[in-house]
């Protein structure tokens, strides 16, 4: 007979630890987005307007 893990065991194997990897990658992605947004005002130097400034003009 083929034995297999109980449902709770499968949950413990495949959910908590892999989720940590996903969370950590999401936070790296979010930081990259934030850094990108912070760099945007630099566009002013070349005479372009950010979308925020365009909306407020």
Partner 1 sequence: MDYISLTVFILYFVALLLIGYMAYRRTKDFSDYILGGRELGPVIGGISTGASDMSGYLLLGLPGALYAGGISGIWLPVGLAIGAYLNWQFVGKKVRKYTQVANNSETLPDFLENRFRDHSKSLRIISSLFILIFFAFYISSGLVGGALLFEQTFGISYSTGLLILSIVIIGYTSIGGFFAVSWTDFFQGIIMFLACVIVPIVTITNLGGWNETVSKAGNVSLSNLDVFSGTTTLGIISLLGWGLGYFGQPHVISRFMSMKSSKDITIARSVYTIWNVVALFGAIFIGFAGIAFFADKPLSNPETVFIELSQILFNPWITGFLLVALLAAVMSTISSQLLISATALSEDLYKGLFRKNASQKELLWVIRIGVIVISLFAVIIAFNPQSSILTLVGYAWAGFGAVFGPAILAALFWKGTTKNGVLAGMIVGGVTVIVWSLLSTPPVGADGVKLAQSEAVIPFYLYELVPGFIFSTVAVYIFSKFGPSPSKDMVEEFDLVKVSNI
Enumerate binding residues for partner 1 (CB under 8 A): 2-6, 8-9, 11-13, 16-18, 20-21, 23-25, 27-28, 31, 35
Task: Tell me how far, at minimum, the Cβ of 51 lies from partner 1, in Å.
Answer: 24
Number of helices followed by number of strands (H, E) in the chain: 3, 0
**Min dist. Cβ of residue 53 to partner 1 (A):** 23
Give CA separation, 21 vs 4, 13, 18, 27, in Å.
Answer: 26, 14, 5, 10
By beta-carbon proximity to partner 1, the closer residue of 28 and 57 is: 28
């Amino acid at each position: 007979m083929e034995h297999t893990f109980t449902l709770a065991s499968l949950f413990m194997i495949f959910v908590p630890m892999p989720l940590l990897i996903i969370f950590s990658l999401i936070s790296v992605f979010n930081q990259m987005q934030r850094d990108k947004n912070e760099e945007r005002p630099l566009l002013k130097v070349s005479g372009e307007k950010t979308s925020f400034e365009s909306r407020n003009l």
